[in-house]
Structure 1
Amino acid sequence: MSILLMLIPISLVLLGLAVAAFIWAVKRGQFDDLDTPALDILEDNDRPAPRHPAVAPPADDVAGAPSGGRPE
Protein backbone atom coordinates (compact mmCIF):
# COMPACT_ATOMS: atom_id res chain seq x y z
CA MET A 1 0.00 0.00 0.00
CA SER A 2 2.85 2.39 0.71
CA ILE A 3 4.09 1.97 -2.88
CA LEU A 4 1.04 3.93 -4.03
CA LEU A 5 2.34 6.94 -2.12
CA MET A 6 5.35 6.88 -4.42
CA LEU A 7 3.76 5.75 -7.70
CA ILE A 8 0.95 8.31 -7.79
CA PRO A 9 3.25 11.37 -7.66
CA ILE A 10 5.63 9.77 -10.18
CA SER A 11 2.76 9.14 -12.58
CA LEU A 12 1.51 12.71 -12.16
CA VAL A 13 4.99 14.07 -12.93
CA LEU A 14 5.22 11.89 -16.04
CA LEU A 15 1.76 13.03 -17.12
CA GLY A 16 2.84 16.64 -16.69
CA LEU A 17 5.96 16.02 -18.80
CA ALA A 18 3.87 14.42 -21.55
CA VAL A 19 1.43 17.34 -21.59
CA ALA A 20 4.32 19.83 -21.66
CA ALA A 21 5.95 17.96 -24.58
CA PHE A 22 2.65 17.98 -26.47
CA ILE A 23 2.15 21.72 -25.91
CA TRP A 24 5.76 22.36 -26.99
CA ALA A 25 5.23 20.37 -30.20
CA VAL A 26 2.02 22.24 -31.01
CA LYS A 27 3.70 25.62 -30.49
CA ARG A 28 6.63 24.58 -32.70
CA GLY A 29 4.27 23.71 -35.57
CA GLN A 30 4.79 19.94 -35.61
CA PHE A 31 1.12 19.31 -36.41
CA ASP A 32 0.54 22.12 -38.93
CA ASP A 33 0.72 20.12 -42.16
CA LEU A 34 -0.27 16.48 -41.84
CA ASP A 35 -1.20 15.87 -45.51
CA THR A 36 1.89 16.91 -47.49
CA PRO A 37 4.37 14.36 -46.05
CA ALA A 38 1.97 11.55 -46.98
CA LEU A 39 1.71 12.83 -50.56
CA ASP A 40 5.45 13.39 -51.04
CA ILE A 41 6.03 9.66 -51.45
CA LEU A 42 3.75 9.65 -54.50
CA GLU A 43 5.78 12.31 -56.34
CA ASP A 44 7.68 10.97 -59.33
CA ASN A 45 11.24 12.13 -58.84
CA ASP A 46 13.61 10.24 -61.14
CA ARG A 47 16.33 12.88 -61.10
CA PRO A 48 19.15 12.37 -58.61
CA ALA A 49 19.45 14.89 -55.83
CA PRO A 50 21.85 17.76 -56.57
CA ARG A 51 25.23 17.50 -54.91
CA HIS A 52 25.95 20.04 -52.25
CA PRO A 53 28.85 22.28 -53.38
CA ALA A 54 30.61 21.96 -50.02
CA VAL A 55 30.91 18.17 -50.39
CA ALA A 56 34.35 17.21 -51.67
CA PRO A 57 34.65 14.42 -54.24
CA PRO A 58 35.90 11.11 -52.84
CA ALA A 59 39.67 10.77 -52.60
CA ASP A 60 41.35 8.16 -54.80
CA ASP A 61 44.13 7.28 -52.40
CA VAL A 62 44.11 5.89 -48.90
CA ALA A 63 45.05 8.22 -46.07
CA GLY A 64 48.79 8.05 -45.51
CA ALA A 65 49.58 6.56 -48.91
CA PRO A 66 51.86 8.47 -51.30
CA SER A 67 50.27 10.48 -54.09
CA GLY A 68 50.84 7.64 -56.59
CA GLY A 69 48.13 5.61 -54.91
CA ARG A 70 50.46 2.67 -54.15
CA PRO A 71 52.03 2.09 -50.76
CA GLU A 72 55.79 1.90 -50.87
Structure 2
Amino acid sequence: MEILYVLMLLGVVFMGLLLAGFLWAVRQEQYEDMDGPPYRIIMDDDDPRIPRRQKPAAQQEKSS
Protein backbone atom coordinates (compact mmCIF):
# COMPACT_ATOMS: atom_id res chain seq x y z
CA MET A 1 0.00 0.00 0.00
CA GLU A 2 2.87 2.37 0.72
CA ILE A 3 4.17 1.93 -2.82
CA LEU A 4 0.99 3.62 -4.11
CA TYR A 5 1.89 6.78 -2.24
CA VAL A 6 5.37 6.73 -3.72
CA LEU A 7 4.06 6.12 -7.22
CA MET A 8 1.46 8.88 -6.91
CA LEU A 9 4.12 11.29 -5.68
CA LEU A 10 6.41 10.32 -8.58
CA GLY A 11 3.52 10.77 -11.00
CA VAL A 12 2.78 14.25 -9.70
CA VAL A 13 6.47 15.20 -9.90
CA PHE A 14 6.71 13.83 -13.44
CA MET A 15 3.60 15.75 -14.54
CA GLY A 16 5.04 18.90 -12.99
CA LEU A 17 8.25 18.44 -14.98
CA LEU A 18 6.27 17.91 -18.17
CA LEU A 19 4.22 21.03 -17.52
CA ALA A 20 7.36 23.05 -16.78
CA GLY A 21 8.97 21.82 -20.00
CA PHE A 22 5.88 22.70 -22.02
CA LEU A 23 5.64 26.17 -20.51
CA TRP A 24 9.35 26.74 -21.19
CA ALA A 25 8.87 25.77 -24.84
CA VAL A 26 5.91 28.13 -25.20
CA ARG A 27 7.83 31.01 -23.63
CA GLN A 28 10.82 30.36 -25.92
CA GLU A 29 8.44 30.58 -28.92
CA GLN A 30 9.16 27.03 -30.07
CA TYR A 31 5.62 26.71 -31.44
CA GLU A 32 5.54 30.10 -33.21
CA ASP A 33 6.01 29.01 -36.84
CA MET A 34 4.58 25.57 -37.50
CA ASP A 35 4.14 25.93 -41.29
CA GLY A 36 7.41 27.56 -42.31
CA PRO A 37 10.01 24.76 -41.94
CA PRO A 38 8.35 22.26 -44.31
CA TYR A 39 8.19 24.89 -47.04
CA ARG A 40 11.74 26.10 -46.35
CA ILE A 41 13.09 22.60 -47.00
CA ILE A 42 11.50 22.58 -50.45
CA MET A 43 12.29 26.16 -51.47
CA ASP A 44 15.85 26.64 -50.12
CA ASP A 45 17.56 26.00 -53.49
CA ASP A 46 15.84 28.96 -55.15
CA ASP A 47 16.81 31.50 -52.49
CA PRO A 48 19.42 33.89 -53.95
CA ARG A 49 20.67 34.78 -50.48
CA ILE A 50 22.12 31.29 -49.95
CA PRO A 51 25.79 31.23 -50.94
CA ARG A 52 26.71 28.51 -53.42
CA ARG A 53 29.39 25.99 -52.56
CA GLN A 54 32.86 26.99 -53.61
CA LYS A 55 35.00 24.48 -55.50
CA PRO A 56 38.20 23.48 -53.71
CA ALA A 57 41.24 25.56 -54.74
CA ALA A 58 42.88 22.61 -56.57
CA GLN A 59 39.84 22.13 -58.82
CA GLN A 60 39.59 25.84 -59.58
CA GLU A 61 43.22 25.95 -60.78
CA LYS A 62 42.75 22.90 -63.05
CA SER A 63 39.61 24.27 -64.67
CA SER A 64 41.26 27.65 -65.48
Q: Which piece of structure 1 moves more, 14-23 or 35-44?
A: 35-44
Moved over 2 A (4+): 46-50
Higher Rg of the two aligned structures: 1
Unaligned runs of 5+ in 1: 51-72
Q: TM-score, normalised by structure 1?
A: 0.60
Aligned CA distance change for structure 1 residues 44 and 21 (closer, same or farther; 3 Å):
closer
Higher helix share: 2
- Match of 1:23? 23
In the TM superposition, what are the counterparts of 1:1-72 in structure 2 within 5 Å?
A: 1-43=1-43, 45=45, 48-49=52-53
Q: TM-score, normalised by structure 2?
A: 0.66
